[in-house]
Amino acid sequence: MSGNLQGEIALVTGASRGIGAAIARRLAEAGATVVGTATSEAGAAAIGRTLAPLGGHGRVLDVTDAAAVEALVEAVAKEFGAVSILVNNAGITRDQLLMRMKDEDWQAILDTNLSSVFRTSKAVLRGMMKARKGRIISIASVIGLTGNPGQANYAAAKAGIIAFSKSLAREIGSRGITVNVVAPGFIETDMTAALPQEQKDAMLGQIALGRLGQPDDIAQAVAFLASPAAAWITGETLHVNGGMYMP
Amino acid sequence: MSSIEERVKKIVVEQLGVKEDEVTQNASFVDDLGADSLDTVELVMALEEEFECEIPDEEAEKITTVQQAVDYIKAHVKA
């Protein structure tokens, strides 16, 4: 196997389906040893089966559990080597108009989509600081920049990821660690399949390239940011949305 | 087995990229050895590894000189 990520150890959260699965596959194809996580045993086993031919592995992880995050990062370091590429992809939605949004809908999104990024990033930093290199790439969303009715919680969490990444990029840039964000537009996944058809049609009308994105469109961007070619890019948000939104 | 002083000194030299003779007992990491805040965090990490101990954040903040590091290790780590 040849690739520009030979010798790298990549941890991808939420890798059982959709964008996360595509990212895990891309990084593995580029030569990284990939550990993909899922919340369930079945999900982790499925990741393991998919990645096995590429030398990758599946593990169970609840990104809201700080102790579990630390334990996994430690276990990965012992078994494969210290994590050198972290991809924060795990995320959920709890769409609801704000007037009807329950406190738990807000908390669940912030905890799973934003606080998780804090936990995983902190856990891998020790190894990256020692190695004097590393890549932290988090998956945000175009919604974190544009906003969307019914997604105040999701938008806040995704915007939070962007600001978090800029701060961390400034903190640890001197140690050769880059921190970047990929903000996907409308991608065909289970998450977006749940949206009403009229909302899908309306979004499609705004996409300059005239089609929905595929998970691999995002995975390619992540693989680039993980690669040596992106060595001088940090604190950046790469918008991969088919021209739906151009900041 | 080298002394605690020597081991601490060696870590400071490695972490901060300074010359050995600059690392005097009372040298301050920040004021004398040019460490920034991230350097001091890394230094504490390196001390934790060398001496296989965990230094709580509130204690770590008080370790600002070579001597303070040596004193902390002597007080908290079994040689």
In a domain, B79, yes or no: no
**Assigned domain for B27 exists:** yes
A174–B42 CB contact, under 8 Å: no
Q: Which helix (H) or strand (E) holds A184?
A: strand A177-184
- Look over chain A and give the mean of its residue pLDDT values, rounded to a whole number: 96
Say which CATH number the domain at B19 has: 1.10.1200.10
At A125-145, the pLDDT tens digits run: 999 999 999 999 999 999 999
Q: What is the pLDDT of residue A196?
A: 86
Tell me what pLDDT residue A1 has. 42
B7 is a domain residue: yes
For residues A31 and A79, the answer to whether their CB atoms sit within 8 Å is: no
Q: Which amino acid, A117?
A: V
* Residue A231 CB-half CA count within 13 A: 8
Q: Does the annotation mark B36 as catalytic?
A: yes
Per cent of chain A over pLDDT 70 is 99
pLDDT per residue as tens digits for the range A84-128: 999 999 999 999 999 999 999 999 999 999 999 999 999 999 999
Contact assignment for A172 to B45 by CB distance below 8 Å: no
Q: Is B65 helix (H, G, I), strand (E, B) or coil?
A: strand
Residues belonging to chain B with any Cβ–Cβ distance to chain A shorter than 8 Å: 38, 42, 45
Q: What are phi and psi of A34, to 5 degrees?
A: -105, 130
From the candidates B31, B36, B39, B71, which is the catalytic residue? B36
Give A151-205 pLDDT, tens digit per residue: 999 999 999 999 999 999 999 999 999 999 999 999 998 878 888 888 888 889 9
Q: What is the pLDDT of residue B79?
A: 57
Question: B23 lies in a domain?
Answer: yes
| C-alpha closest to that of A19 among A234, A241, A246 | A241
pLDDT above 80: residue A2:
no
Give helix A18-29 / helix A41-51 axis angle, nearest 10°.
Answer: 30
Please give the structure tokens belonging to residue A233: 């890019």
**Cα separation of B1 and A175, whole Å?**
31
Tell me the percentage of chain A whose pLDDT exceeds 90: 93
Residue B58 lies in a domain: yes
Q: What is the dihedral of CA A121, A127, A129, A134, to 10 degrees?
A: -70
Q: Is residue B19 part of a domain?
A: yes
- Asked whether residue B30 is assigned to any structural domain, the reply reads yes
Question: Closest partner residue to B38 among A126, A130, A174, by Cβ?
Answer: A174
- pTM of the predicted model over 0.90: yes
DSSP 3-state assignment of A190? helix
Dump pLDDT digits (tens) for B25-61.
999 999 999 999 999 999 999 999 999 999 999 999 9
Residues in chain B: 79
pLDDT at residue A194 in the model: 81
Q: Report the run of H or E that residue A138 belongs to, with start and end.
A: strand A134-139
Would you state the pLDDT for residue B1? 57
User: In residues, how long is chain A?
Assistant: 247
Asked whether residue A9 carries a pLDDT value surpassing 70, the answer given is yes
Interchain CB distance below 8 Å, A174 and B45: no
> Closest Cα of chain B to A83: distance in Å?
17
Helix, strand, or coil (residue B52): coil
**What is the distance between the alpha carbons of residues B65 and A240, in angstroms, rounded to a whole number?**
48
Q: How much is the ipTM here?
A: 0.83
> How many Å apart are CA B39 and CA A31, to the nearest integer?
32
Domain that holds residue B52: 2-74
- What is the rounded distance in angstroms from the CA atom of residue A9 to the CA atom of residue A25? 13
Total domains in chain B come to: 1
